[in-house]
Amino acid sequence: MSFEHSIQRLMSGQAKGLFPSLGRSALACIEPLYRFEVNRRNRRFDRDASRARKLPKPVISVGNLTTGGTGKTPVIRWLAGALRDRGLNVGILARGYKAEPGTLGDEQRMLLAMLGGGTTTAGRVVIECDPDRHAAGLRALEREPAIDLFLLDDGFQHRRLHRDLDIVLLHAPEPFGYGHVLPRGLLREPITGLKRAGIVILTSADAATPESRATTIAEIRQHNAGVQVVFERHEPTGLRSAGTPSDQPADVPLSALREKSAMCFSGLGSPGGFERQIRSLAGKYAGEHRFPDHHAYTADDVRMLQASGESAGAEVLVTTEKDWVKLAAIDGVADAKIPIWRLDVEARFEGDGAGILLAAAMARAGRGCT
């Protein structure tokens, strides 16, 4: 079990016993200091909007209230692709985890690959990474002066950049980070921050009960009575084998996994959802292996996974597109004895959710929704 997942078990209360209890007590002592600093910073921006720099094009933030995975990347992929296909040129601005300014991080490389290099006959997607998202936006405009709007990736707490709309994602099975801010829980800021949201998306909504959905909506409404709430699920659409580029349709149907014994592995902040999907799709579930988030894979990792898969009787190893971005560069991985497939997952919205998101984005860009 990775350090990240051990910490989550501690925060959630799943880890029992004297030492976990003492650990939670210690983290609770630090929590007020973090909350005070976050609240102080938010008050500064609330009082003085001029602290946030503006770009010459509209900005839509797609961010989180918590750390860990909320399924943000499939949502950004869907929104960027939908806007591009309607003729808009879209700039995606990201911090770029462990990436030098001007280079792309893991998710951004994956997004660009899955968006077909970012260009169609309709519109174009440009991606720039920099902790200074204002500088990234100006660089993107130098590359593509015809950008119509920007998507600020993971930008809810990046208040130094003005945005025209805040879209906030909450992971429906655990929307509020165990009810505590860091380091006692997973909240990046208190739940009151939802007052800044224009749209809230409950991701993986199919994994939450109707009762828990209602409870979550009631909590959201306490802090932002008029916000629009959209329900999303991550829908597996197929699998890609090693030789299939990420921007091409999945070449392996989901039904093929029903005939296989499968082991999955990933380097995700919250891998549970991915593992549940493989468990439900595989004919036989041979287990999983969890790496730290943003893990940099090596040839030794591949050999270890092959050995583990063989010991467990796995006929195929299944991972994510995000992980494949780094795996694909390793010599011999495409010809591994136990083939490595990756699951293609797309964002799907309940009811008129897709229309709400698209109409809001098009309106910020000064376009009608067609």
Same domain? For 176 and 304 the reply is no
| Of the candidate ranges 19-28, 74-83, 101-110, 210-219, the one whose mean pLDDT is the lowest | 101-110
Same domain? For 104 and 18 the reply is no
Same domain? For 244 and 226 the reply is no
66 is in an annotated binding site: yes
54 is in an annotated binding site: no
23 is in an annotated binding site: no
Q: Which residues neighbour 211 within 8 Å (Cβ) at sequence distance 6 or greater?
A: none
Decide: 100 and 71 in contact? Cβ < 8 Å. Answer: no
**pLDDT, average across residues 69-85:** 92
313 is in an annotated binding site: no
- Report pLDDT digits (tens) over 339-359: 999 999 999 999 999 999 999
State the average pLDDT for the chain: 92
- Report pLDDT digits (tens) over 207-229: 899 999 999 999 999 999 999 99
319 is in an annotated binding site: no
Same domain? For 72 and 217 the reply is yes
Q: Taking 90 as the threshold, does the pLDDT of residue 302 lie above it?
A: yes
Predicted confidence at residue 7, as pLDDT, reads: 79
209 is in an annotated binding site: no
Predicted confidence at residue 2, as pLDDT, reads: 61
Decide: 11 and 178 in contact? Cβ < 8 Å. Answer: yes
Residue 149 lies in a domain: yes
Same domain? For 37 and 77 the reply is no
- Report pLDDT digits (tens) over 143-162: 999 999 999 999 999 999 99
Decide: 336 and 306 in contact? Cβ < 8 Å. Answer: yes
Predicted confidence at residue 6, as pLDDT, reads: 77
72 is in an annotated binding site: yes
Same domain? For 39 and 104 the reply is no
The CA-atom distances, in angstroms, between 331 and each of 107, 158, 297, 303 are 22, 38, 12, 11
- Report pLDDT digits (tens) over 8-18: 878 887 788 88
Same domain? For 186 and 315 the reply is no
Q: Which residues neighbour 310 within 8 Å (Cβ) at sequence distance 6 or greater?
A: 337, 338
Q: Taking 70 as the threshold, does the pLDDT of residue 120 lie above it?
A: no
Same domain? For 246 and 336 the reply is yes
Cα gap 272→75, rounded to integer Å: 18
Predicted confidence at residue 108, as pLDDT, reads: 87
**pLDDT, average across residues 37-50:** 95
Q: Taking 80 as the threshold, does the pLDDT of residue 33 lie above it?
A: yes
Cα gap 59→37, rounded to integer Å: 26
Same domain? For 57 and 100 the reply is yes
Predicted confidence at residue 367, as pLDDT, reads: 83
Give the structural domain span for 309.
236-345
Specify the CATH number for the domain of residue 295: 3.40.50
- Report pLDDT digits (tens) over 278-287: 999 999 999 9
Q: Taking 60 as the threshold, does the pLDDT of residue 263 lie above it?
A: yes
Predicted confidence at residue 370, as pLDDT, reads: 57
The CA-atom distances, in angstroms, between 344 and each of 88, 263, 347 are 25, 16, 10
Predicted confidence at residue 92, as pLDDT, reads: 96
Predicted confidence at residue 3, as pLDDT, reads: 64
Model confidence band, residue 277 (pLDDT cutoffs 50, 70, 90): very high
Predicted confidence at residue 17, as pLDDT, reads: 87
Same domain? For 61 and 185 the reply is yes
Model confidence band, residue 321 (pLDDT cutoffs 50, 70, 90): very high
Residue 251 lies in a domain: yes
Same domain? For 162 and 240 the reply is no
Predicted confidence at residue 13, as pLDDT, reads: 79
Predicted confidence at residue 1, as pLDDT, reads: 57
Percent of the chain past pLDDT 70, that is, above it, reads 96
**pLDDT, average across residues 97-126:** 77
170 token code pair: 């909450």
Residue 59 lies in a domain: yes
Number of domains in the chain: 3
70 is in an annotated binding site: yes
Most confident stretch, 8-22, 97-111, 282-296: 282-296
Q: Taking 70 as the threshold, does the pLDDT of residue 117 lie above it?
A: no
Specify the CATH number for the domain of residue 128: 3.40.50.300
Decide: 273 and 74 in contact? Cβ < 8 Å. Answer: no
Predicted confidence at residue 99, as pLDDT, reads: 67
Same domain? For 72 and 126 the reply is yes
Residue 272 lies in a domain: yes
